[in-house]
Amino acid sequence: MNLDVREAKQITIIGMVVNLVLSAAKFALGILGHSQAVIADAVHSLSDMATDLLVLFGIKIWSAPADERHPYGHQRIETIVTLLISILLAVVAFEIGWSAIERLGEPGNKPPLLFAVIGPLVSMIAKEILFRKTRAVGKRIHSSALIANAWHHRSDALSSVPALVTVGISAVNPEWAFLDALGAVLVAGLIIKVAWEIAFPALSDLSERGADDDEVRAIRRLTNSINGVCSVHRIRTRRLGAGWFVDLHVMVDGDLSVREGHDIATAVQHLLLEEGPAVADVTVHIEPEDDH
């Protein structure tokens, strides 16, 4: 198991444990403190474990080496997992928003006890720390699924805000409890925004979107810097996992030997892999300049 995979599994398992502990604590505080908002927040924390399990299951697949049926590897699974996480986030957001709208029309219930505020307060702090740690690992190993899961942790921290507000305000003045529902609708909108920001890059990758202009220019500049390269054209790219697969045609002197052309192609491959913009693999087609 390489270091990146080990880091990804470690931070995801930590997230699962934190979610489990927070869920149990908030369920207990919600029941003892008569707070439906805290109980709902506990359910949200429990739902976060689903994405943790999804990431753990996905890591095992997308980190597997290439085989005969998957000659380019299994990195596309990571993109699919990222998309699934965004869908789960959107579903949770709609549930939070819909429940909040329904609560707007309900008559006031028994006000919660103030100590129930401990649940969402601790949850906000713990999930914000978990968000930062998970996102840092995701960025370091270029894992879109881990970064998506990090934002799921952030959504849980955000969803604790209405619970925190409703317990505090309702304990002081039960007539102001409706503010909790309005705050929950706002949080649901923020979570939906995050879900779309996660889904859009994943959908772009699945639709074979190529690298942007700056990245293509960098690939062209590096290729042209190799001694023996006359020009480069037909640069094609596609995203697979954390890197770009690059296919390009390099023009060389038509009088060069096959060995010399091969050496130039190898030099282009090595340079792009070492200094290119997140290049994962390179295919170089050598063509004689004379034909053009």
| pTM given for the model | 0.66
User: Helices 3-32 and 144-172, interaxial angle, to 10°?
Assistant: 20
**Inter-residue contact 258 to 288 (CB < 8 Å):** no
Residue spans in the chain of domains classed CATH 3.30.70.1350: 213-291
Q: How far apart are CA 164 and CA 159, in angstroms?
A: 9
Residues in contact with 230: Cβ distance below 8 Å, sequence separation at least 6, in sequence order: 251, 252, 253, 289
d(CA 289, CA 175): 81
Class for the domain spanning 213-291:
alpha beta
Task: Quote the pLDDT of residue 111.
Answer: 64
Q: In the CATH scheme, what is the code of domain 3-206?
A: 1.20.1510.10
CATH 1.20.1510.10 domain extents, the chain: 3-206
**Closest-CA residue to 246 (of 224, 268, 225):** 268
Which of 53-62, 114-123, 138-147, 268-277 shows the highest mean pLDDT?
A: 268-277
pLDDT tens, residue by residue, 207-259: 888 888 899 999 999 999 999 999 999 999 988 776 889 999 999 988 888 99
Q: Which amino acid is at 178?
A: F
Q: φ, ψ for residue 238 (rounded to 5)?
A: -150, 145
Question: In which residue are the tokens 């957001």 written?
Answer: 93
How many CB atoms within 10 Å of residue 23?
21
Separation between Cα atoms, residue 97 and residue 109, nearest integer Å:
19
106: pLDDT confidence band, cut at 50, 70 and 90?
A: low
Query: Which helix or strand (DSSP H or E) is residue 87 part of?
Result: helix 76-104
H or E stretch at 45: helix 36-62
Mean pLDDT, the chain, whole residue set? 82
Tens of pLDDT, residue by residue over 168-180, are 777 677 677 666 6
Structure tokens at 42: 């506990």
Tokens for 105?
């029309």
Give the integer Cα–Cα distance in Å for 38 and 99: 13
